[in-house]
Structure 1
């Protein structure tokens, strides 16, 4: 590939900068925390201290989404549990890093048994005599009905793997776009499409995000070598195209219809791939069908997947500026803030998504708008979260700053975010790397005792499926359509409001939900029954 072509594709096939690793390794979880100013309280909450340790440890592992190699052999479901050394938990967390530090194994080569990265275990029910029944129920984890991960690929799949894993003539290049979780979904589908076409996959290219200006490379966020090893029995992954494969002009495919089947993919592209030896895809978001054959669904799951002093809640609070622009909703912060969003929306009409003919009021009542900080606070309180509950806020900078956050801060003062927990200047190198910052949020959210998103989207769906996959951790999905009118009903008492909220969310707290109950459900959000079976 020529230099011009490589630049146009935003080539991510580079080696990591050694100075980058030096900076990460300089961050020790045992470093002295920054001193508090005179205006700050010197009493540090144990949650803040320990999450700080975990976030610092995150940097030691060059984060996130590290893919763990799984044997392609058929494994009985009973052998696979979240605590098993061969458990197919593919997304990185901090526990293995912590174990490596404590056992002085940091410099040894990882093996199959020592490189497993899983979230730290939940605490279970709080042991306190002062909790009400509602408060105890809020923290109680679902039992999972015996469903545990089981990626037992078929014999035909494994026979074909010996050929596909050695492919050296046909290559697939994929350019992925969007935020971290949107990119993640496209990477999953890129692997599956490479398998369908029996092609080698070039490490995906991350397109510069036009909203945030994020220029992160694949290797900035994902562990490339782990990614390759994880998939070595499914698809051959290479860092770059060989010199024998030049990129022809007008070769990028970006007009793939939505929800296409494997048969359509093969019929449309297999001949071209066999002739030219190269395909370049761009814009894969939701292009591949959610309803795939069992082996390909398992492959999807395979690609895609804090123990602290006291339990904590993770909130994915979607109240950033771009969210208000894209959803077409009112911020609830006043006319001056809504005017800013309206002007942004008028200058970028293509940012607005879905139901363009609906009014803001109708859009909100239909459940298409994020919940505000006030609505989230009232919902948490109604479901049994006490005011002293520890809360981690995931998400970008809220539009409206402290004004937007004030309602939840007043009701839940024990709030932390990555910005609050990091030492001075520690996040500075990543302020223009939203995907890296989102990865930190993902790890801390995954290990929380309770997760609640204020809006749908890729992070919420990914977290729903991943939390089920690692032991059915509680996931509360707000029933916005049924509850929003209650927020505006001043005649309803607080006791009645709480009762209704508990009934509305009785079956939305992480219990097992089957993907086949509704058409086109995403296996990444609903891994039962394809990727999890009864123990």
Structure 2
């Protein structure tokens, strides 16, 4: 009886506890779901947190890379001749005078072309004239800006150079050689110099080429001629000692607090008028820009919205600041500004200064009277050039047409592949236009993506319209890698001997 009763209770227990078991199972499932949800949320939060840390770490890593020079991939600068390059003969075909017009860097390009033209014609080059008065309103001249003795010594294996055309003694009388004036075609081919110009030189004994800016084709199918341009630009053309010392003093003061970048802020009247970017200015300012354009540039119908949409307008100071912030630079970044008078004044600079308060120029770094006296006209441009050349990072805000920015890009590439940040204005334009319309979602990421697709200073193929003076790779470089014999570095580098002397 007890066994039967026990069995009945044992059989009845499962039947009577079925509902309770189901409820227990459901409860346990609910608890499991809650646990899973909690774990998932925790995982997401942790992942986001770690992702943010990785993002911040990645951003810092990228900035650390930018403050250093770009990877050279085994290349180093070398503009020494690679083939037979005889010194200039004692007897030449005559004298070559040139008048270099434009700003400091347009003149610099003209000087390089003048040396090459003299070599092509087997001519004696008269020290180039700098047309300083019309552009800078000063009369510094070649000797006031460059180290003349170094210039002549550096090029002694390439061309004969004299400071002026000497007088000749004939039939008992002293006579001056009068140079016949010629106007070279723009981007003239080598054949123009070996025919038209040379005929006149032999006939008169001397020729005077004026104006002389962009008067020799840049793309020449002769690497030795291109290397001569580099010897002039990066070795022979050295600023005078006072300019070099002043520039180094500014750099030392800037670098005393760490890294610094330089920016060529091309938000100036001439460039804005050239680009036809008027609409962001008030009516009075627009009138000034339109008048300047009418007086200085050929007539052309320019529609602001169309120009802006394809990146033809110079970046505003605020846009420059937003680009830098999107790339990860913070408000402690020290920035040296190389610029003329910014059009529109302080109202355009204020947003930039709010983002990056440590903005400097040569006057603010050293407000001494000595500096003020030595940074006017061509001298001021020379100081800005050297500070930008020596900065850790250089950023041009408008590199076409801008001889200052373009020449600096080439110079920094030549001397160690120094980092340059070149905003892709065409890619950035729609991003900034959307921002102005209030569409700000993903703005910084879009800017960052556009910026890190650009070349940051390493070796890259020159594709027209990029200038030879902006990128002389590979003509003026050689390979240290034994695997790349096609571009092997010359064993006897005359330029290194000259530079060390």
What is the DSSP-based 3-state SS (H/G/I as helix, E as strand, rest coil) of the residue aligned with 2:370? coil
Instruction: Name the CA distance, whole Å, in 2 between partners of 1:396 and 1:281.
Output: 30
Partner of 1:138: 63
Greater percentage in helix? 2
Matches within 5 A, 1:205-354: 205-244=129-168, 246=176, 248=178, 251-254=180-183, 256-292=184-220, 293-305=222-234, 306=251, 308-309=255-256, 310-330=258-278, 332-346=280-294, 348=295, 351-352=296-297
Instruction: Name the CA distance, whole Å, in 1 between partners of 2:107 and 2:91.
Output: 25
2:94 aligned with 1:170, yes or no? yes
Matches within 5 A, 1:413-424: 413-424=357-368
What is the DSSP-based 3-state SS (H/G/I as helix, E as strand, rest coil) of the residue aligned with 2:73? helix
- Deviation, structure 1 residue 499: 2.0
Q: Confirm or deny: 8 A CA contact 2:226 2:475 kept in the other structure.
A: yes
Q: Identify unmatched segments of 5+ residues in structure 2.
A: 1-53, 169-174, 235-250, 481-501
Instruction: Name the CA distance, whole Å, in 2 between partners of 1:486 and 1:264.
Output: 47
Q: Confirm or deny: 8 A CA contact 1:167 1:200 kept in the other structure.
A: no
Partner of 1:455: 398
Matches within 5 A, 1:71-220: 132-140=57-65, 141=68, 142-157=70-85, 159=86, 161-163=87-89, 166-167=90-91, 170-220=94-144
Q: Confirm or deny: 8 A CA contact 1:325 1:345 kept in the other structure.
A: yes
What is the DSSP-based 3-state SS (H/G/I as helix, E as strand, rest coil) of the residue aligned with 2:118? helix
Instruction: Name the CA distance, whole Å, in 1 between partners of 2:429 and 2:356.
Output: 21
Q: Confirm or deny: 8 A CA contact 1:318 1:395 kept in the other structure.
A: yes
Instruction: Name the CA distance, whole Å, in 2 between partners of 1:212 and 1:478.
Output: 29
State the TM-score, normalized to the length of structure 2.
Answer: 0.73
- Deviation, structure 1 residue 489: 0.7
Q: How has the CA–CA distance of structure 1 residues 413 and 149 changed in structure 2, closer, same or farther, with 3 Å as cutoff?
A: same
2:446 aligned with 1:504, yes or no? no
Partner of 2:304: 360
State the TM-score, normalized to the length of structure 1.
Answer: 0.69
Q: How has the CA–CA distance of structure 1 residues 469 and 380 changed in structure 2, closer, same or farther, with 3 Å as cutoff?
A: same
Q: Identify unmatched segments of 5+ residues in structure 1.
A: 1-128
Q: Confirm or deny: 8 A CA contact 1:514 1:527 kept in the other structure.
A: no
Aligned residues between the structures: 394
Instruction: Name the CA distance, whole Å, in 1 between partners of 2:302 and 2:345.
Output: 28
- Deviation, structure 1 residue 231: 0.6
